[in-house]
Chains A and B, each alone.
Chain A
Amino acid sequence: MTASPTPSHSGTLYQPGASFLHRLHPLTKLTFSLCALVVIFSGPGGWLSALLPGLLALSLLWRAGLGRLAARLSFRLLAWLAVIMFGIHGFFGPDNQTILFNLGPLEVGQEGIEFAFLITIRLAAMLLVSLTLVLTTHPSHLVQALTEFGLPGGLAYLLGSPLLLLPQMVVRAQAIHAVQQARGLETQGNLLQRMRALFPLVAPLVFSTLVDVEERSLALEVRGFSAPTRKTFLNELVDTRSQRLARRGLIALSIVTFLLGVGWRLYASS
């Protein structure tokens, strides 16, 4: 087999590769991500429940050779959000009682800082956990896994289709922007001008996307998308007994953690 020249699947974050994460069955990664989310948001001990899955995800990604990319992506997405969170809650947090220090006329509250810290850690953990799935699983394999699992083909496709329609819509949006500018539409300028420019930009996008969707649905029909037979797949998604066991284990673990979290909260509030 010849090496393919950087096959970009426009719009998705998928990174081609053959690491152990890539080789895991998509359902295993999906189960891991969903269970980790349950733990992150409902586990006992607040930020500690978020930190552990986050660190676990990061170490998995690191072993798969994607740690640097994952860290960079998370940092880029979170950095400004964190600044805003710490700023707003530090200065103006509704629960602020303990004053940590003064910054000019403003007081920085401990409760607000703690809350911002919790939210930031949770978001970071959520991102990293999702990346274990998103970076190493091609959307088509996820759709295939869900179909094989028993999800109706149409529903599985619908879950994957925003990913596939997005890049095409971006190209369209750029084209429409060029067209309307060439007709003298000022798309820069003050808020009023921009608002006025919105309709001539959005309406053609909606219309042409509908035309695309109709043509695509005809093309899919002709290729047997709704054929009554049970689908087969060119590529085999390798599943193993240990992965099936692991998935059950993960689900059990997340239920236990969820219950512990509920208990912990009841205890803490009493």
Chain B
Amino acid sequence: MEIKVENAHYSYPGGGVKALNGVSLTIQPGEKVALVGQNGSGKSTLARHLNGLLRPTQGQVWVGDWETSAHSPAKMARRVAYAFQNPDEQLFHQQVWGEVAFGPQNLGHSAEQVRIQVEQALDLFGLRAAAKINPRDLGYSGRKRITLASTVAMQTPVLIFDEPTAGLDANEQEQLSQVIAILNQQGKTVLVISHDMDFLTENFERFVLLREGKIILDAGVQEFFSHQEILETSGLVAPQMIRLSQAMGDSNLAITPEHFIDWI
């Protein structure tokens, strides 16, 4: 499903500064896009326009043939699922299963369909065995993975993850990488907001950099990290393998350790 942002402007009520200042962006179905930039640069504001939680004060946002201003956020959730950063701001159910089923149920799927979607999502995150557990009995990373699973279970064509790696250990991050790859194979569009450049380069192809409510760089991963001055002024530190390539004077920027070794 294509996403189209046309010259979007947005100011928070009461706040004078423009959180979005003329953003235009087209995302093709099945793309994997990373939104990066410092806190306050407008990443989250932009992402919340894509699921209709915010509506542009000027300009338009389209998800497929839906213009977001014409639909409630609850309706937009049929097309765009959004995983927020803090699991404690969403968990309410006594059981993991019910928590993960909440989204699909809200979307009006049949009981049988909900069951299939929940089981698939739990399997992806290795939570099947925890289905009957109270989410609050799990540690932070467990609760975080429940929120990720509850987003994936909605089986929307577009998914947005806000800082999905925060609090996950290396193995759990590896698991998340696999989930993102599977979602991508299914033709879904995946957007992520994150500061974790190592994770982003290994899993996302297109990087969109925001600063003061504007897109200042929109490029494929290798081109993106070749713009060293722009990254520096935006407070971005390139991922380890890219910095290693640069330190070695390679014009080819490696994405993963495997790339680096292949090119050396």
Contacts and interface: CB of A to CB of B under 8 A. Distances in A.
Interface of A: 172, 175-176, 178-188, 199-200, 203-204, 207-208, 211
B82 A182 contact: yes
Nearest to A203: B92
Nearest to A172: B89
B84 A179 contact: yes
B103 interface: yes
Contact of A199 (B72, B91, B92, B154): B92
B74 interface: yes
Interface residues of B, number: 25
A180 B154 CA distance: 13
A82 B227 CA distance: 65
11 contacts: A175-B89, A182-B81, A183-B77, A183-B81, A183-B106, A184-B154, A186-B74, A204-B91, A204-B92, A207-B92, A207-B136
Contacts of A188: 72
A199 B84 CA distance: 19
A208 B89 contact: yes
A211 B140 CA distance: 12
Contacts of B125: none
Name the residue in A178, A186, A187 with the highest tally of chain B Cβ atoms < 10 Å from its Cβ: A178
B53 A184 contact: no
A175 B154 contact: no
B117 interface: no
Contacts, number: 68
Interface in B51-109: 51, 53, 72-74, 77-78, 81-82, 84, 86, 88-92, 102-103, 106-107
Contacts of B106: 183-186
B48 interface: yes
B201 interface: no
B150 interface: yes
A179 B90 contact: yes
Given A178-B73, A178-B84, 19 more contacts: A176-B89, A176-B90, A181-B53, A181-B72, A182-B51, A182-B81, A182-B82, A183-B81, A183-B90, A183-B150, A184-B74, A184-B77, A184-B107, A187-B74, A204-B89, A204-B90, A207-B136, A208-B88, A208-B89
Nearest to B108: A184
A181 B52 CA distance: 10
A175 B53 contact: no
B72 A183 contact: no
Contacts of A187: 74
Interface string B145-160: 0000011001000000
B68 to A, nearest CB: 12
Contacts of B103: 183-184
A80 B111 CA distance: 47
Contacts of B107: 184
A4 B196 CA distance: 36
A199 to B, nearest CB: 6
Closest 6 CB pairs of A and B: A184-B106, A203-B92, A184-B77, A181-B73, A182-B82, A208-B88
A59 B174 CA distance: 68
A242 to B, nearest CB: 43
A208 B106 CA distance: 23
A203 to B, nearest CB: 4
A204 B150 CA distance: 15
Name the residue in A181, A183, A199, A208 with the highest tally of chain B Cβ atoms < 10 Å from its Cβ: A183
B247 to A, nearest CB: 40
Contacts of A207: 88, 91-92, 136
A175 B72 CA distance: 17
Contacts of A178: 48, 53, 73, 84
Nearest to B160: A182
Contacts of B90: 176, 179-180, 183, 204
B89 A200 contact: no
Contacts of B51: 182
Contacts of A172: 89
B8 to A, nearest CB: 18
Interface in B136-179: 136, 150-151, 154
B92 A182 contact: no
A175 B77 contact: no
A179 B99 CA distance: 13
